Structure 1
Amino acid sequence: MKKGTGLSLFFGGTAYLGMPHNDAFKKLVFEGIEIYGINHGASRNNNITLDIFSIAENEAARRFGAEDSIFLSSGYLAAQLLVQQYFETHQLIYAPDTHPALWIGRPKAPRIKFVEWIERTIKLINGSDQPVMIISNSLNNLIPEIYNFDWLKRIDPHKELVLLIDDSHGIGITGNQGEGIYSRLPQLTNIETFVIASMAKALGFDAGLILGNSAGIKNLRNSPVYVGSSPPSPGMLYAFVHAGEIYAQELFNLRRNLRLFTDLLESTKKLFFINDFPVFLLQDDEIAIDLKKNGINISSFPYPDPQAKAIHRIVINSIHEKEELEILAKWINGNG
C-alpha cells in the first residue's frame, strides 16, 4: 500500500508465491550469480558446461515427481521443443484455451467446453489409426478450473499416444506440496507423458521446464532445437535448487491468505473460485468498476478476443497482508 497517495492495492499478476519480492530468494539468486556468473550462452551439448544444469534438472525431477527433466531458457522454448519433435509424425489435438506457445502456426483452439472436447477427443482417437499427440493446459486460470485427466483411461489401450500438459499456472501451488500435476496424471503404458511449465510464475525465475520419463527426455536432448538453444541463467537455477524451504513457506502463506480472504467474505455468490487456488472470478461488472475507482487494481480484460466481454479476476498471492485482504473483502461485501 502506498502511503500519502491514497489507496493503491494490486490483486493481479501470476507471482502467486511472491518470489519477485522475496529477500531470501533474491539472496540465493545473487549467490548463484557470484558462483556461476550472469549467464552461460553455450550450446546445451557443449563439452564444457556447468554442473548446476544437471543439479537443477535432477532436483526438478525429484521435486515434481518425474524420472527426468530438462530446463530451457523459457516456457515458450520448452513448448516448441516438444511440439516440433512430434508435429510431423503425429496428429496434434489441442484442447480449448491451449496457450499460443504450444501451437505450430496460428493458434486455433476449439471454443467448446472442456468436457465436450474430451468426448470428441476420445471418439476421434479410438476411431483413428494415426499417431496422436494431445495438447492441453493442466487448468484454466481464467475461470478458474482445474482439469481432471482420468478420462484418458477410456482411450483404447492399444492406441499409443503422446500427452503434453502445460502446468505453468499449477506448478508450485497445486498438489499437496506444490508439486504440480505430473505425479497426479494417470500412468498408462500406451501414453508417453510430458509436462511443461514456465517457471516465471509461482516459482519466480525465467526458465522453461520439461518433465518426462528418462527415455523421452533423452530423445529431446538429441533434438536440434535443444542442442542449439542456450540454457537459463545458472544463478537462477542455483536459487531454485536451494529454495525448497522458501517455496514451502510461501505456499503455506498463500494458502493461509486464501483461507483468510474467503473467511472474510459475507457471501461467495459474487465470486467463483476453487479451494487453494489463488484466482477468483468476479462476476459483477459494477464491483470491478468500483474497485478500480477506489485504487484496488485487479486483472480485467476482454477474453477470448479483444471484442469479447471483459473478465474480472482477483489474484491473491502469498505476500498480501491481512489489512489488504480485509480492505478487498469489504469492497466485495459492499461495505467499502
Structure 2
Amino acid sequence: MANKVYTDQLPGRTLVVNGEEFLFFSGTSYLGIPVNEQFRNCVLEGMARYGTNYSSSRNSNLQLRVFEEAEDYLATYTGSEAAFTMSSGYLAGQALVQTLQGSGYFIYAPNTHPALWRSTADEVIGDYDAWVGPMLEQVQGSKEEHIILVCNSLDPLKARNHGFSWLSALPTDKQITLVVDDSHGFGVTGEDGAGIFAQLKARLQPNVRLVVASSMGKALGIPAGMVLGDKALIDKLRHSHYFGGASPAIPAYLYAFLRCETVFKEARQKLFSNIEYFLKHLEHPAQFSYFDRYPVFGVHEHRLAAYLQERGVIISSFRYPTPADDPITRVILSSAHTEGDIQRITGLINEFVKV
C-alpha cells in the first residue's frame, strides 16, 4: 500500500505534491468534469445568474425555476416518473430512508453505503453474491406485508457489477420496495450514462416499487444528490422536513448540468476510449478485476501502489472499511487522461509483473 500524500491542488490527470508532479489514477471524478473547461464556464455563467449559493428553503415563497427544470430533466433522462434533488447524495439518501422508515421491513445488502442507513445497525459486511440466496429465502418466508430491499448498483471498491438476475425470483404476492444506490454508476453506466433505473424498471414485476438514490458528484461533478421514483413517493419526500429544512443544491451547478449534455456525452466517449486503450496496452489484464466499460480496475497485488508511487504515479490504495482491514487497491481511469498517461501507467504495470 502506498503512503498518504497531501496537496493543496485539485487533482485532475496530474497532481503536484511538494513540488513534484505525479500522474493521478484515483478518485471518483470518472468524467473529469471538475477540470473540464467547458463545464467550468457553464458554472461561472450560472453563478453570474444565481450567485454562489441559494441560502433558502425549497419551501420559500420565492421559487427558482432551475430546480424544477433540473428535476424534470432527470426524470425524462432516466425514465423515472419523477425526480427529487438535494444538496448532496448523502442527504438525499437519508431523506429517502427516513421517510420510508416505519412503512416496511428493511433488508440491507452487504456494503450498502451509509447514506442509506437508518442507523449504524444497518451496516452489513460480507459478499453480495453470498447474500442473494439467504435474502430470497428471507423475503419468501417473511410474514411482513412490505419488504424494503436496499443495495448498491455495483461495487466500485472491488470493481464488480452487481447482478440483478435474482429480481425474477422475488415473490409476487408481497409489496416490495427496491432501493438502489447508483452513485458510482450514474453518468457512466446505462444508456447515455443515465444509470440503472431504466434497466431495472424493465425487469420488475408490478408489485415491486423501484427507487434509485444517487450522488451527482461522482461522474457528473455536480455537488448534489437525487432520488428517482414514482410521483407519490417523490411528493412525500417534498413534504418531509428534509426538503423544507435543508438548503437545496447550488442553483449555478444545476444550471450548468442542464447546459452540458454534450460535454458529458463527449467525456463519456473519451472515458470509454481510455478504458479500451488501457486494456489494449496491458500485457496481463487478468491481474485486475473489472467489468465492461467501467473505469475502475481492482488490483490483486497491493505492492503495485507503492511501486507506481515511487515512479511518479499515484493510484487508489487504502484500508477499508476500517484501518484494521485489508487494503483496497485500484487503478481508476478518467476522461481527463491522455493516451500518453495511459501508456505510462500500463508500461509500469507491465514492468511490475516481471519484477
Structure 1 stretch displaced more, 9-18 or 126-135: 126-135
Q: 2:147 aligns with which of 106, 113, 132?
A: 132
Give the C-alpha shift of residue 35 in structure 1.
Answer: 1.5
Report what 1:87 is aligned to.
101
Give the Cα–Cα distance (whole angstroms) in 2 for the partners of residues 314 and 225 of structure 1.
37
Report what 1:230 is aligned to.
247
Give the C-alpha shift of residue 231 in structure 1.
Answer: 1.0
Residues 220-299 of structure 1 aligned to structure 2 (within 5 Å) = 220-299=237-316
The answer (yes or no) to whether the contact 1:94–1:135 under 8 Å persists in 2 is yes
Moved over 4 A (4+): 1-7
Q: Is 1:118 aligned to 2:150, yes or no?
A: no
The answer (yes or no) to whether the contact 1:170–1:181 under 8 Å persists in 2 is yes
Q: 1:176 aligns with which of 177, 191, 195?
A: 191
Give the Cα–Cα distance (whole angstroms) in 2 for the partners of residues 106 and 63 of structure 1.
33
Give the Cα–Cα distance (whole angstroms) in 2 for the partners of residues 111 and 21 of structure 1.
35
Report what 1:196 is aligned to.
213
Q: Is 1:322 aligned to 2:343, yes or no?
A: no
| Equivalences, count | 336
Give the Cα–Cα distance (whole angstroms) in 2 for the partners of residues 210 and 285 of structure 1.
36
Give the Cα–Cα distance (whole angstroms) in 2 for the partners of residues 149 and 264 of structure 1.
32
Give the Cα–Cα distance (whole angstroms) in 2 for the partners of residues 127 and 2 of structure 1.
53
Q: Is 1:20 aligned to 2:34, yes or no?
A: yes
Give the Cα–Cα distance (whole angstroms) in 2 for the partners of residues 300 and 258 of structure 1.
20
Residues 19-98 of structure 1 aligned to structure 2 (within 5 Å) = 19-98=33-112
Q: Secondary structure at the match of 1:20?
A: helix
Structure 1 stretch displaced more, 240-249 or 116-125: 116-125
- 1:269-309: per-residue Cα shift (whole Å, max 9, x none)? 22121121000111113322211111210100112321122
Q: 2:329 aligns with which of 312, 319, 322?
A: 312
Give the C-alpha shift of residue 94 in structure 1.
Answer: 0.8
Q: TM-score, normalised by structure 2?
A: 0.90
Distance 1:91 1:2, change over 3 A: closer
Gaps of 5+ in 1: none
Gaps of 5+ in 2: 1-13
Give the C-alpha shift of residue 255 in structure 1.
Answer: 0.3
Q: 1:141 aligns with which of 135, 156, 165?
A: 156
Give the C-alpha shift of residue 79 in structure 1.
Answer: 0.5
The answer (yes or no) to whether the contact 1:126–1:156 under 8 Å persists in 2 is yes
Q: Secondary structure at the match of 1:177?
A: helix
Q: Is 1:165 aligned to 2:180, yes or no?
A: yes
Q: CA RMSD in A?
A: 1.8
Q: Secondary structure at the match of 1:313?
A: strand
Distance 1:45 1:187, change over 3 A: farther
Q: Is 1:154 aligned to 2:169, yes or no?
A: yes
Q: Given residue 72 of structure 1, which amino acid in structure 2 is its aligned partner?
A: M
Q: Secondary structure at the match of 2:103?
A: coil
Give the Cα–Cα distance (whole angstroms) in 1 for the partners of residues 224 and 309 of structure 2.
33
Structure 1 stretch displaced more, 97-106 or 110-119: 110-119
Q: Secondary structure at the match of 1:323?
A: helix
Give the Cα–Cα distance (whole angstroms) in 1 for the partners of residues 178 and 237 of structure 2.
15
The answer (yes or no) to whether the contact 2:15–2:24 under 8 Å persists in 1 is no
The answer (yes or no) to whether the contact 2:167–2:204 under 8 Å persists in 1 is no
Report what 1:207 is aligned to.
224
The answer (yes or no) to whether the contact 1:100–1:107 under 8 Å persists in 2 is no
Give the Cα–Cα distance (whole angstroms) in 2 for the partners of residues 64 and 36 of structure 1.
26
Q: Secondary structure at the match of 1:76?
A: helix
- 1:41-98: per-residue Cα shift (whole Å, max 9, x none)? 2222223210000000011111122111011011111001111011222221110110
- 1:90-134: per-residue Cα shift (whole Å, max 9, x none)? 221110110112112215533332122111111111111222211
Q: Secondary structure at the match of 1:269?
A: helix
Give the C-alpha shift of residue 236 in structure 1.
Answer: 0.4
Give the C-alpha shift of residue 147 in structure 1.
Answer: 1.3
Q: TM-score, normalised by structure 1?
A: 0.95
Q: 1:102 aligns with which of 90, 93, 116?
A: 116
Give the C-alpha shift of residue 149 in structure 1.
Answer: 2.0
